[in-house]
């Protein structure tokens, strides 16, 4: 394959990509999709390259799929967990970055509780930096894999009605998805109680999201005629020091949870998505999570293909 280097090396935010760039990444990921079913899953495009996964927050799917993606392209993948890194001894992220850079990696994939961590790291290292989730700011590869999943199951993203329901206030997934889906021509309904909706969320992408993103506090209204329903977990770990935002989980589940009954508000062929981890029986009834309309495991599979594309693009460039 031939590559062109005319693409940015870092992937910090969906805000940095236009629609054409997003489609280019999704098309790039399509090339890797079939590999999952092949008996031999390895290509050698990143042979001899090094990818460091620097994760300061917990992760199952994202960390595993970045590691798998790197290995399937024959790169060396090294995992550094924040809890076992020298930051626990007081080292700054800047210094950690400079020290890792002294070992000459080709890319660093970072997850951090500080919104802005990926941008900060990108400003101090010479290799590519990929944001695997920075606080409540963005999770760009999640939005890309979600767009790839929607494209696969619905044939397009343009013109679809997508409901994002749950704890929007603490969700980097909601932010990246609202931006990405609006750029790709979908209409997005943000649906939650007021206390879980950040003020001005519909303006995160300026005029574009003002037109395409709408906020509602009624589940029935948010789901009415939706093609895609994306459910989010309450991110209790980000509530520290905050006043209570809802009376209790049971109450939230009753008013904003997705059950077979409330899924009835959406289109009959609507698909159900969730970035994981699911809190079964809270935002999502087990029958829906395991039902025929859920594409949650397909999201996980796309995660590997999309992250292969993102790594290859960061290190080698986009397919010419
Ligand atoms: N896995 C996603 C994230 O890292 C969503 C979540 O944790 O609820 O943001």
DSSP assignment of 6-41:
-S-S-B--GGG--HHHHHHHHHHHHHHHGGGGSSS-
Q: Can you tell me the mean pLDDT for 75-89?
A: 88
Distance CA 166, CA 192 (A): 5
Hey, which of 169, 235, 239, 299 would you mutate to test ligand 1's pocket, going by the most ligand atoms within 8 Å of its Cβ? 235
pLDDT in tens, 166-206: 999 999 999 999 999 999 999 999 999 999 999 999 999 99
Q: What is the percentage of the chain residues whose pLDDT exceeds 90?
A: 90
Answer for the pair 108, 54: CB distance below 8 angstroms, yes or no: yes
Residue with CA at minimum distance from ligand 1 atom 8: 233
Helix (H, G, I), strand (E, B), or coil: what is residue 73?
coil
Measure the CA–CA gap between 232 and 274, rounded to whole angstroms.
6
The helix/strand/coil state of 298 is helix
Beta carbons of 55 and 111 less than 8 angstroms apart: yes
Ranges of beta strands (E only) in 107-219 are 107-112, 128-134, 161-165, 187-191, 213-216
Phi-psi region of 206 (alpha: psi -120 to 50; beta: other; left: phi over 0): left
Pocket test for ligand 1, best of 60, 276, 307 (most atoms within 8 A of CB): 276
Q: What is the mean pLDDT of residues 278-291?
A: 97
Residues 6+ apart with CB under 8 A from 237: none
**Which is more confident, 34 or 241?**
34
Provide CB contacts within 8 A for 189, sequence distance 6+.
161, 162, 163, 164, 213, 214, 215, 216, 221, 222, 226
Cα torsion at 276, 160, 202, 163 (round to 10°)?
-40
Looking at the CA of residue 61, tell me the nearest atom of ligand 1.
1
Q: What is the pLDDT of residue 110?
A: 98
Ligand 1 pocket residues where CB is under 6 Å: 133, 139, 172-173, 233, 235, 275-276
Site to probe by mutation for ligand 1, drawn from 173, 231, 299, 300 as the one with most ligand atoms within 8 Å of Cβ, is 173
10 Å Cβ neighbour count for 17? 21
Residue 31 pLDDT level (bands cut at 50, 70, 90): very high
**How far, in Å, CA of 309 to CA of 18, rounded?**
17
Residues 100 and 125 sit within 8 Å (Cβ to Cβ): yes
CA of 140 to the centre of ligand 1 (A): 12
Other beta carbons within 10 angstroms of residue 235's beta carbon come to 16
Q: How far is the CA of 134 from the centre of ligand 1 (A)?
A: 10
Q: What is the pLDDT of residues 97-136, one digit of tens each?
A: 999 999 999 999 999 999 999 999 999 999 999 999 999 9
Calculate how far, in angstroms, residue 289's C-alpha sits from the geometric centre of ligand 1: 16
User: Which pLDDT does position 301 carry in this prediction?
Assistant: 97
Q: What is the pTM of this model?
A: 0.97
Give the ligand 1 atom nearest the CA of 235: 8
Q: 44: CA distance to ligand 1 center in Å? A: 31
pLDDT at 13 over 80: yes
pLDDT tens, residue by residue, 235-266 = 888 887 776 777 788 888 999 999 999 999 99
Q: How many residues does the chain have?
A: 320
The rounded percent of the chain whose pLDDT value lies above 70 is 100
Best mutation site among 142, 174, 232 for ligand 1 pocket (most ligand atoms within 8 Å of CB): 142
Ligand 1 mean position, distance from CA 278 (Å): 9
On whether the CB atoms of residues 61 and 67 are closer than 8 A, the answer is: no
Give me the pLDDT at residue 67, please: 98
- Asked if residues 266 and 296 have their Cβ atoms less than 8 Å apart, the reply is no
Alpha carbon of 60 to ligand 1 centroid (Å): 10
Average pLDDT over residues 76-91: 87
CA distances from 266 to 156, 224, 258 (A): 18, 5, 11
Residue 246 Cα to ligand 1 midpoint, Å, equals 20
């Amino acid at each position: 394959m031939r590559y062109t280097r005319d693409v940015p090396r870092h992937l910090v935010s969906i805000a940095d990509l236009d629609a054409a760039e997003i489609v280019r990444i999704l098309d790039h990921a399509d090339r890797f999709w079939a590999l999952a079913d092949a008996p031999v899953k390895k290509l050698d495009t990143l042979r001899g390259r090094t990818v460091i996964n620097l994760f300061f927050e917990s992760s199952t799917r994202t960390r595993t799929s970045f590691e798998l993606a790197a290995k399937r392209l024959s790169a060396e993948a090294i995992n550094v967990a924040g809890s076992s890194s020298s930051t626990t001894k007081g080292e700054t992220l800047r210094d950690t970055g400079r020290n890792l850079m002294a070992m000459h990696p080709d890319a660093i994939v970072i997850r951090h509780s500080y919104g802005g961590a990926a941008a900060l790291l990108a400003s101090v290292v010479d290799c590519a930096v990929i944001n695997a989730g920075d606080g409540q700011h963005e999770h760009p590869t999640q939005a890309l894999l979600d767009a790839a999943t929607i494209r696969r199951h619905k044939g397009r993203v343009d013109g679809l009605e997508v409901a994002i329901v749950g704890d929007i206030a603490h969700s980097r997934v909601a932010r990246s998805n609202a931006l990405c889906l609006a750029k790709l021509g979908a209409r997005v309904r943000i649906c939650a109680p007021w206390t879980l909706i950040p003020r001005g969320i519909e303006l995160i992408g300026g005029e574009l999201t003002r037109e395409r993103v709408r906020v509602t506090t009624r589940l029935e209204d948010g789901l009415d005629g939706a093609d895609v329903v994306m459910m989010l977990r309450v991110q209790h770990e980000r509530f520290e020091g905050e006043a209570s935002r809802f009376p209790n989980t049971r109450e939230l589940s009753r008013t904003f949870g997705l059950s077979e009954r409330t899924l009835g508000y959406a289109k009959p062929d609507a698909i159900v998505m969730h970035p994981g981890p699911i809190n079964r029986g809270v935002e999502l009834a087990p029958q829906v999570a395991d039902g025929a309309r859920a594409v949650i495991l397909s999201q996980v599979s796309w995660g590997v293909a999309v992250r292969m594309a993102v790594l290859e693009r960061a290190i080698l460039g986009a397919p010419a």
